[in-house]
Amino acid sequence: MKTAALALKRVCASRANYVLSFVLDVATAAIAIGFGISGAHEPAYALLTFMAGAFIFTFIEYGTHRWLFHAPASFAAASHHAHHFSPHHPSAMPFICGPLGGALIWLATTALLGNESGVLLTAGTMSAYLYYGVLHDLQHRIRANALPAGPMPGRWMKGRWRDHAIHHGRLNRNYGVTTSLWDRVFGTYSSTRCA
C-alpha cells in the first residue's frame, strides 16, 4: 500500500496530470450536459434533476475530502497531505478520476432512475465537480483581497476563500470547498483559525 500511495502522490503532483484533469473534467461535464439536453423532455424537470445532481455532488465532495483524503490509513492521504504542505503547487487526483467517476455515476443513476433522469443527474454532478475543481484552483491562485468587492459574488467568494484557508490551518475543519452546508450539518464548520 505504501508503494501505491507514493505512486499516487507523484501522479497527483504532476503538472501534466493537473492540466489533463481539467481538460477531461470539462469534456466529461460537456458530454454529460449534451446528452442531458438532448434527452430532456420537460425543461423544469431537467433543471430540477440537474440541480439535484449538483447538490448530491456537494455531499460527495465533503465525504471524499473528510473520510478519504483525511483518513489516517487512506491510500489518498499522502497525496492530499502533500497538497496541504505545498498548497500553491499543482495537485489533482489522477486525470482519469473525473471521467471514470462520471461513468460510474451514469451507470448507477440510469440503472436506478432510467436514462433521462440518470443522464441529467450525472450532468449536474459532473458540472459541480468541474466547478469544485475550478474554485479550488482559484482559492490557491488568487488572494482573497484581490476578489471583487460587493455582496455578490465578492462576499460569497471571500467566505469560501476564508473557510478553505481555515481548513488548511486546521485539518479537521471546513472540508467543503463549494459550500459549508455539510460542515454545518456534521459539526465540522469553523469560522475561526483557532481551536
Quick: pLDDT tens for 113-127: 998 899 999 999 999
In a domain, 112, yes or no: yes
In a domain, 189, yes or no: no
Quick: pLDDT tens for 12-25: 778 888 888 889 99
In a domain, 173, yes or no: no
Question: Which pTM does this prediction carry?
Answer: 0.86
Provide the total of helices (H) and of strands (E) in the chain, helices listed first.
8, 0
In a domain, 177, yes or no: no
Q: What's the N-to-C CA distance of the chain in angstroms? A: 33
In a domain, 170, yes or no: no
Quick one: angle between helices 15-39 and 115-141, nearest 10? 150
120 is in which domain, residue-wise? Answer: 2-137
In a domain, 149, yes or no: no
In a domain, 61, yes or no: yes
In a domain, 187, yes or no: no
Total domains in the chain come to: 1
